[in-house]
Structure 1
Amino acid sequence: MTMADFDWKARFGPIIDELEKDGLEHWATQLQQQLTHRFEDRPHGDLDRWQAALDQLPGLTQVDAQLDQSAVTLTSRQPLTVAQREQLELGLRGLMPWRKGPFNFFGTYIDTEWRSDWKWDRVSPYLSDLSGRRILDVGCGSGYHCWRMLGEGAGRVIGIDPGLLFLFQFFSVKDYLGDVPIDLLPVRMEDLPADLETFDTTFSMGVLYHRRSPLDHLLELKGTLRRGGELVLETLVVEGPEGFSLMPEDRYGQMRNVWFLPSSDTLLRWLDRTGFRNARVVDVTPTTTEEQRSTDWMRFNSLQDFLDPFDPTKTVEGYPGPLRATVIAEKP
């Protein structure tokens, strides 16, 4: 197995062609250059291992998907043999750790680190009808929420996340479903062309606190939306008045790349200052060790290891424990 076995041109050729047909030639050209650099100039050392795991999954042709329930679920109209189930388990375990989900592959349930379905259940009641909408999911991980968006009737879903393991986990689902209007691009937010103004809804869930300049991130998100488009923003917040924001001294919950945790009122002010309208907080929920935890499919440290063992309302650094807010706003 060599890195050449991953044919990125075949994988991404259709989405590049689609962008060109949609009048987004500048994005198509830029994306092709980025993918060339990612997979040819500086290929990841684990690329061949992940491709081998993907190749291990049994080939099945009569596959259906249920995308409107807690686990993204694949079912086969023909029962899997014992050998096929063994291949399935081996391939899926070769793509560990599984962080976002859950997924159910033909009866093999992947209990992911995050119960991402809980977040979806908190967010989805407040969304505009997704039917037929063109959607961007920034920092989409393995694409779990992208599949749920498609299950809500979205016309086109594009997720972006630079993590290549996430990409192969996404392929493990999409390869069974064929030509469905959903893609995951292994790029960062800053890799997108400025002011695309092409999406009806843009999601940014669990990204803002990783940005050194949160206002610039909000402006980038605004630039992806058409006029009247909807932003769905989910991020860590802290209790406090308008104007208050926590900047950790070093780590927050053992994460180094956490920069700003605003109060909910501060977050609304940020959205107002960056030109969004009708911003409203629709949910504020503490993250618990039932929602984020180690599992047999993600065996590394998780939230229980990042909280103060004597006071689980605080992180190990002594900061307020994780509190997540969801805000919805529109682009004028």
Structure 2
Amino acid sequence: MQQNKYDDSAFFANYSRMPRSTGGLDAAGEWEDFRALLPDLRGAKVLDLGCGFGWHCRYAREQGASSVVGIDLSEKMLERARAMTDDPGIEYRRLAIEDFEFGAERFDAVISSLAFHYVERFDLLCRNVHRALEPGGSFVISVEHPIFTALAAQDWHYGPEGEALHWPVDDYHSEGAREARFLGHDVVKYHRTVASYVNGLIEAGFAIRKLSELQPTEEMLARNPEWREAVRRPIFFLIAAVKN
């Protein structure tokens, strides 16, 4: 199922007020780890799946990428991305992640930030990306951590005084759709295990280069004490892989 919640005016307005929407990559808590997983982008042809406002597209060009294609299903997201971009080396296309179709060995790097937990068939997506990459090409993604997506509530278990006692994990091995609440709206996310993410990549022909579960640094905690929650349970899962 392809969702397009971001073209809902109320949802988009709420998303536009998020720190990562107003402050860009430096306001995204996972950015430091994501950036560390990226390959050398100088001269690279880059594809960004679920590009949103185009922050990663513009960063790739700043790092010397020769060209960048960003795709997203939301016209509102792409409209904002185009308004924020003054670079003929970046092309934005309205397209669902599940439907992207490019020639074989078209890109040197494919990236995606916090989009694949909205995609039902990760295995098919991995095969499409593998085909689109040059041999030795990089595939770097971030998703919501499976510990975070296992239960649709995505919330703590609270004590009698409202204190967060623990993060419940249940139905972990029961993969599939979860109807979660995000930005005041019901949103369908797809839960899959860590093993499914890793094995989906391996079975598609990728070698895993590095994983990250984003342990907050002291600097992050000093900037934003709310990141203390991510010390108790991971919220993001990041993977860097390479096409064999």
TM-score by length of structure 2 reads: 0.67
Distance between the aligned counterparts of 1:283 and 1:205, measured in 2? 14
User: Are 2:16 and 1:98 equivalent residues in the alignment?
Assistant: yes
Find the counterpart in structure 2 of residue 152 from structure 1. 63
Question: Is this contact kept in 2: 1:198–1:225, CA < 8 A?
Answer: yes
Question: Is this contact kept in 2: 1:214–1:260, CA < 8 A?
Answer: no
- Among 173, 197, 204, the alignment partner of 1:267 is 197
Distance between the aligned counterparts of 2:209 and 2:105, measured in 1? 19
For each residue in 1:21-67, what CA deviation from the matched residue of structure 2 results, as whole angstroms up to 9, or x when unmatched? xxxxxxxxxxxxxxxxxxxxxxx999xxxxxxxxxxxxxxxxxxxxx
Q: How does 1:116-127 map to 2 (within 5 A)?
A: 117-127=28-38
The structure having more radius of gyration, on CA atoms, is 1
Shift in Å, 1:171? 1.9
* Deviates further, 277-286 or 146-155: 277-286
Distance between the aligned counterparts of 1:101 and 1:169, measured in 2? 16
Find the counterpart in structure 2 of residue 198 from structure 1. 106
- Among 174, 186, 199, the alignment partner of 2:94 is 186
Distance between the aligned counterparts of 2:175 and 2:114, measured in 1? 16
Find the counterpart in structure 1 of residue 179 from structure 2. 251
- Among 99, 114, 125, the alignment partner of 1:217 is 125
For each residue in 1:188-221, what CA deviation from the matched residue of structure 2 results, as whole angstroms up to 9, or x when unmatched? 1233226532000001221221122121121122
Question: Is this contact kept in 1: 2:145–2:237, CA < 8 A?
Answer: yes
Structure with the bigger RCO (C-alpha within 8 Å, sep 6+) is 2
Quick one: which amino acid aligns to residue 259 of structure 1?
Answer: Y
Quick one: which amino acid aligns to residue 327 of structure 1?
Answer: I
Question: Is this contact kept in 1: 2:145–2:213, CA < 8 A?
Answer: no
Shift in Å, 1:245? 4.1
Shift in Å, 1:173? 1.9
Shift in Å, 1:278? 3.5
1:142 to 1:245, Cα distance in 2 relative to 1, 3 A: farther
**SS in structure 1 at match of 2:16:** coil
Structure 2 portions without partners, runs of 5+: 1-6, 151-171
Structure 1 portions without partners, runs of 5+: 1-43, 47-94, 104-109, 292-303, 305-311, 314-319
Residue identity over aligned pairs, in percent, reads 20
Find the counterpart in structure 2 of residue 107 from structure 1. none
Question: Is this contact kept in 2: 1:199–1:224, CA < 8 A?
Answer: yes
Question: Is this contact kept in 2: 1:100–1:142, CA < 8 A?
Answer: no
User: Are 2:230 and 1:278 equivalent residues in the alignment?
Assistant: no
Quick one: which amino acid aligns to residue 175 of structure 2?
Answer: M
- Among 29, 33, 46, the alignment partner of 1:135 is 46
Distance between the aligned counterparts of 1:128 and 1:269, measured in 2? 22
1:100 to 1:202, Cα distance in 2 relative to 1, 3 A: farther
Find the counterpart in structure 1 of residue 235 from structure 2. 323
Quick one: which amino acid aligns to residue 258 of structure 1?
Answer: K
1:186 to 1:123, Cα distance in 2 relative to 1, 3 A: same
Shift in Å, 1:159? 0.5
Question: Is this contact kept in 2: 1:268–1:280, CA < 8 A?
Answer: no
Question: Is this contact kept in 1: 2:138–2:241, CA < 8 A?
Answer: yes
Find the counterpart in structure 2 of residue 227 from structure 1. 135
Question: Is this contact kept in 2: 1:161–1:186, CA < 8 A?
Answer: yes
Question: Is this contact kept in 2: 1:237–1:325, CA < 8 A?
Answer: yes
